[in-house]
Amino acid sequence: MSEERRVASNYTIEVKGMHCASCVGRVERALARVPGVELAVVSLLGEKASVRGNHQVTPEQLVQAVEKAGFQASSSQPVQVPNLLARWLVGLLLGSLIMATMTLGQHLNPWMEWAAATLIQFWGGAPLYQNAWKAARSRSTTMDTLVVLGSSLAYAYSTFTLLRAGHHPATYFESSIFIITFVLLGRWLEEGARQKARASLKGLLESAPQKARRLRDGQEEEIALDQIQKGDRLRLRPGEKVPVDGVIEEGSSSLDESLLTGESMPVDKGPGATVIGGTLNGTGSFTMRAEGLGQQSVLSQIAASVERAQLEKPPVQKLADQVASVFIPMILGLALLTALTWTLLGHPEIGLQTAMSVLLIACPCALGLALPVAYAVGLGRAAQLGILVRNPAALEKAAALHTVVLDKTGTITRGRPQVVEVHMDEASLRLAAALESRSEHPLARAVTAHCQQALPEIEDFQALPGRGVSGRAEGHQLRLGSPALFGVDPQGDPRTRIYLEVDGQLQGWLALSDPLRPDAAEAVRQLRTSYAVTILSGDRDLVVQAIASQLKVNGQGSLLPQDKKSAIQSLQEGGCRVAMVGDGMNDAPALAQADVSVALGWGSDLARKTADITLLHDDLTRLEQTFRLARAIRRTVRQGLAWAFLYNLLLIPVAAGLLYPRLLSPALAAGAMALSSLSVVLNALRLRWFH
């Protein structure tokens, strides 16, 4: 056995033939029984099983377990599925012919009806029979069990009546045909919905170009995408797609990032700006340095995260699975009770018809599809908007938040100090900038960047730790530093002041602050409409209170990382569900403590790895959009579940004969079941257009 096989512990198996939550449960139980398997999670919409196990587990064992449970499986090549469209079209043609002649008061030869019903029952319904038989062999039931029992009852009763009565007996051949036909239609539409739900993810993966222009030794060469190496210099011309993630070195342009952000407005980029593979270059040209390749690229990370999130189940999905697992046995018992009741009342034919209708109307397809379709479509839309969801369970919590906690530095502020006020003349500013040019402190870099003049040489430079710097320039003795260095009172100014002394005389001061991001005020305003918002920061409390007052929210400063975590814990103990938004390493403990953790894509790696959700786009207003999307997904899930349960609660009694003498025919029951599933799927697909 190779070293790779011995240490491998995670597998993904493609599974075909699942149509409801009961199927999902059956596959999970079959995989869990394989020796060495520790965890098996199955996605109905993604048609995949994610399995974690020890070194004893092999893909072949997993495939065999799934196939023994009655499903098609593969660890490598795609599994072939029956041509449902052709079977449905033939069934529709034959069924419509029979119904048309009946509407006109005519009858086809009963043996022709029997031949048509036989073709659809055993050729059209072959996939359903196969699934039901495999389920029976594994001592379980699925919705195919209900469909096969209902249609077989109609076909068998009609065949028996034809053999016994001969010319034009009362049969249900049209019902057996339409039962199979409606179910095949529903399956075909479900498969189309699954493909649409996965379309946005597939579009992301296929958005990168296949070739790039590499610059080497002054020459330009065209190479395949897989030949690009980290550090390669690539040239982008107007109208071309960016091949890989990287950084612009020369030139500038406007890039269309709507693939990731959903925004149609192009984004201006220049030297030092990051660009993402798959985005579209505008009218400019530039040279970039390749950085994120293959699985390290933003697109690959989005795709992997969405696929992983689709496999994980939120708590409400697990509850629905449990309900569905006992639902089918209950329906089988109810159908039998219905048949016996009507038979004892002296109406065996009504008993047969109502039993068939109960079996067909109660198929839990809608219940099984309500959650996975909504979450899959919602996660795909989130990826399009630059919202990377790692934990789908967090979406449930994000839909019911009470409080949003924001970090300050780098989250609602730029994280880079800037000179915001100057109280000295141009000559003094020039000397202050010259002194600061010898320092590596962030405040010093801000002062140097603010001065646009040529700077004199500094002699006898000396750093005064915690207070400032000193030196000589143009024959003057200079000192530059904090108010404490000169015994000056900054008069409660929350900004950072730096004073300049020239030859023992104060010449003025500079005020620096970490300015708010341009979108911070609007982002916080949006959040305040739905949530209590507070700022927790390690910066001075005076600074934090000033920003909090400006944004009209609560704030606390001078907090250590553990203090932020404790503050969130206190909110949770008070009954609040809390979201924490941060970008730095010191935010990781608070992110881990929060009910929902949101990291910013421009922040630290640790923050992004700790968070449930990462905002990839440099736009803080996406935060409220994220929570709004979570609420939309929850609303869609609730609508789907409500429809599925209400549908069954109302129509099962009708199918059982509650409105006698008006009875629901088995064919209409099958059609209603298909329409129920379709309505749930179409409702979930609306999330693709979420704005």
Q: CA–CA separation, 677 vs 481, rounded Å?
A: 71
DSSP secondary structure string for all residues of 370-396 = HHHHHHHHHHHHHHHTTEEES-THHHH
Higher pLDDT, 166 or 527: 527
Q: Is the dihedral of CA 366, 370, 372, 374 positive or negative?
A: positive
Q: Respond yes or no: is residue 519 known to be catalytic.
A: no
Q: pLDDT category, 4, cuts 50, 70, 90?
A: very low
| pTM for this prediction | 0.60
Q: CA–CA separation, 307 vs 380, rounded Å?
A: 9
Asked if 544 contacts 408 with a C-beta cutoff of 8 angstroms, the reply is: yes
Q: pLDDT category, 609, cuts 50, 70, 90?
A: low
Supply the pLDDT for residue 539: 76
Q: pLDDT category, 305, cuts 50, 70, 90?
A: low
Asked if 386 contacts 204 with a C-beta cutoff of 8 angstroms, the reply is: no
Q: Which of these, 118, 147, 116, 108, lies nearest to 131 by C-alpha position?
A: 147
What residues contact residue 478 under an 8 Å CB cut-off, 6+ apart?
431, 432, 435, 470, 471, 472, 500, 501, 502
Q: CA–CA separation, 85 vs 165, rounded Å?
A: 35
* Stretch among 327-336, 402-411, 474-483 having the lowest mean pLDDT: 327-336
Helix (H, G, I), strand (E, B) or coil at 595: coil
- Per-residue b or e along 126-152, where b marks 16 or more CB atoms closer than 10 Å to that residue's CB: ebbbbbbebbeeeebbbbbbbbbbbbb
Asked if 498 contacts 512 with a C-beta cutoff of 8 angstroms, the reply is: yes
Q: What letter represents residue 643's amino acid?
A: W
Higher pLDDT, 84 or 609: 84
Question: What kind of fold does domain 3-74 have according to CATH?
Answer: Alpha-Beta Plaits (3.30.70)
Burial of 459 (0-12, 13-18, 19+ CB in 10 A): exposed
For 211-295, the fitting CATH number among 1.10.1450.10, 1.10.260.40, 2.70.150.10, 3.40.640.10 is 2.70.150.10
Beta bridge mates, 478 = 471, 502
Distance of CA 477 to the CA centre of its chain: 61
Supply the pLDDT for residue 6: 36
418-513: CATH number: 3.40.1110.10
* Stretch among 84-98, 179-193, 301-315, 442-456 having the lowest mean pLDDT: 301-315
Same fold: 211-295 with 392-413+517-611: no
Q: pLDDT category, 506, cuts 50, 70, 90?
A: very high
Q: What is the pLDDT of residues 333-368, one digit of tens each?
A: 888 898 899 989 888 888 888 887 787 777 656 666
| Domain boundaries defined on the chain | 3-74, 84-201+305-375+635-689, 211-295, 392-413+517-611, 418-513
Which residue has tokens 């039998």?
336
Q: CA–CA separation, 688 vs 16, rounded Å?
A: 24
Q: What is the pLDDT of residues 244-281, one digit of tens each?
A: 888 999 888 878 775 555 444 567 788 888 888 878 88
- Per annotation, catalytic residue among 407, 514, 612, 619: 407
Beta bridge mates, 268 = 254
* CATH class of the domain defined by 392-413+517-611: alpha beta
Asked if 246 contacts 291 with a C-beta cutoff of 8 angstroms, the reply is: yes
Q: pLDDT category, 2, cuts 50, 70, 90?
A: very low
Q: Give the mean model confidence (pLDDT) for residues 211-216.
A: 88
Supply the pLDDT for residue 560: 72
Q: Is the dihedral of CA 96, 101, 107, 108 positive or negative?
A: negative
Asked if 17 contacts 128 with a C-beta cutoff of 8 angstroms, the reply is: no
Q: Could you give phi then psi for residue 417, rounded to 5 degrees?
A: -65, 150
Structure tokens at 13: 């198996």
Structure tokens at 397: 């919590």
Helical H segments across 451-594, by residue range: 483-486, 520-528, 541-551, 561-573, 588-593
Task: For strands 596-600 and 613-615, give the pairing.
Answer: parallel
Higher pLDDT, 186 or 472: 472
